Amino acid sequence: MTLEPALSAPLPVQMHLLTVLPAFVIGLWLILFSTKGKLAHRTFGYIYLALMSVTAITTIFVSSNPTGGFYGFSWIHLFIPLTIYGVYGGIRSARAHNMARHKSAMLALFIGALVIAGALTFLPGRVMNQIVTGG
């Protein structure tokens, strides 16, 4: 394992890593351990949603396929609008006091944007794969 691929990565990739890693930890805590509705849950919830928004925005500038695709975008970039929609849906449902919808929006955001998209970052040739394998 080496951090060299992250340290030598372009700035958007570094920004993406700096926002997505704490978002994962905070999101996991919010889902599993926080007391729902309490000040700490709401405060860290807003921090989580801000981190997820910045993560999605920085991903626009991460090109995984600079020689192909649509303007450097690949299919994994489909997670950008899904993430933004999840953030919006989570806030909207919480403000409407629809906690069942809020819970499902937040679980979908966490699983889709962090677990599934996160797992895809370990594919060969991607920075996280290089960090873990040392290649």
Task: Give the CA angle between residues 104, 82, 75 to the nearest 5°.
Answer: 135
Nearest CA to 108 out of 25, 64, 37, 52 is that of 52
**Torsion angle in degrees (nearest 10) through CA of 53, 59, 60, 62:** 160
Rounded CA separation 1/67 (Å)? 28
Which H helix or E strand runs over 108? helix 99-109
**pLDDT of amino acid 73:** 79
**pLDDT of amino acid 67:** 54
**pLDDT of amino acid 22:** 98
For the entire predicted model, the pTM comes to 0.90
**pLDDT of amino acid 62:** 86
Q: What is the mean pLDDT of each run of 10 residues along the chain (135 residues)?
A: 92 95 98 97 98 95 65 83 97 97 97 95 88 86
**pLDDT of amino acid 53:** 98
**pLDDT of amino acid 52:** 98
* Partners of 70 in the β-ladder: 73
